[in-house]
Amino acid sequence: MRIVMLGDIVGACGRQSVQQLIPEIHEKFKPDVLLANVENVANGSGLTPDQYRRLFDAGVDGMTMGDHALRKREIYKILQEKSNIIRPGNLPAGAPGKGSMAIEPRNTSLPPVYVIIVLGNMFMGLNANDPVASVDTLLAQIPRKDATIIVEMHAETTSEKQAMGWHLNGRVSAVLGSHTHVPTADAGILPSTKIGARRTAFQADLGMCGGHESVIGRRIEPVLSHLRTGVYMAFDVADKDPRINGVCLDVDQTTGSATAIERFVLHANPQKPPFMV
Ligand SMILES: [Fe+2]
Ligand SMILES: [Fe+2]
């Protein structure tokens, strides 16, 4: 089974890039499931119900959200009720939504893909619970031992994400990092833990979908100005050099073992729809 997962979609530019390039993704990779992190769609922070619907209609099968999950109150109902969108599983117990989901592939003869997201603790500034204990609890709730399982580790440091990769090695199909918006060049399959154990794919960060002439998706000038003066200003979302970053992951659906992972970058054309031309 083939799964494509995209890094954090940032602002209108990111959403339009994804909408434009989904046909190319299907032509190139022919994924059975398309996943994306959508925490930054609403002008950089959060997601609105309208944006959720547009991305779903465009072909995003499963959506994840990190530290920006609860920025927009209007998305809480969707987080509670829809089966294809999750927020970090280690938020406080009363947080709206859920931390894991099962996505049915397009080819209905394939088993579901389970997706879990947890937040790291280092430099995140959120009241999150222990990601290791939380991910173990969520994994224990998955009914099948051989299930295809993607764990997204939404964290600031590559070290914490690597550590999660080793913690879950042999137990899940892939550990994929997000949040820093810059893709890392370490896509690979971790060494086998023991004979017969499933193989786990890993990449410390997926990168982002959005304007790459930017500071992690925001316009350069306000960020530099803040850096130089300390004065607070709006960090608008960038729109130049639109690209999408993601990985194409192959999993043996009979064992849940990863067989290949490839990082990719696709360039969007801002002169063509759905961009304003
Ligand atoms: Fe993000
Ligand atoms: Fe984030």
Ligand closest to Cα of 88 equals: 2
Name the residue with tokens 């709206």.
Answer: 96
If you measure from the C-alpha of residue 8 to the centroid of ligand 1, how many angstroms do you get, rounded to a whole number? Answer: 5
Burial class of residue 205, CB neighbours in 10 A (0-12, 13-18, 19+): buried
- Would you say 175 and 202 are in contact if contact means Cβ atoms under 8 Å apart? yes
- In the chain, which stretches have pLDDT less than 50? none
Report the distance separating Cα 103 and Cα 111, nearest Å: 9
pLDDT at 277: 65
Distances (CA, A) of 65 to 7, 21, 91, 92: 11, 21, 12, 15
pLDDT at 196: 84
CATH match of 2-267 with 3.90.1150.10: no
If you measure from the C-alpha of residue 250 to the centroid of ligand 1, how many angstroms do you get, rounded to a whole number? Answer: 25
Category of 59 on φ-ψ map: left (φ > 0), alpha (ψ -120 to 50) or beta: left
pLDDT at 107: 86
Ligand closest to Cα of 216 equals: 1
If you measure from the C-alpha of residue 121 to the centroid of ligand 2, how many angstroms do you get, rounded to a whole number? Answer: 12
Catalytic residue among 26, 68, 167, 179: 68
If you measure from the C-alpha of residue 272 to the centroid of ligand 1, how many angstroms do you get, rounded to a whole number? Answer: 25
If you measure from the C-alpha of residue 66 to the centroid of ligand 2, how many angstroms do you get, rounded to a whole number? Answer: 5
pLDDT in tens, 10-32: 999 999 999 999 999 999 999 99
Question: Does 26 qualify as catalytic in the annotation?
Answer: no
Q: Can you give the pTM of this predicted structure?
A: 0.97
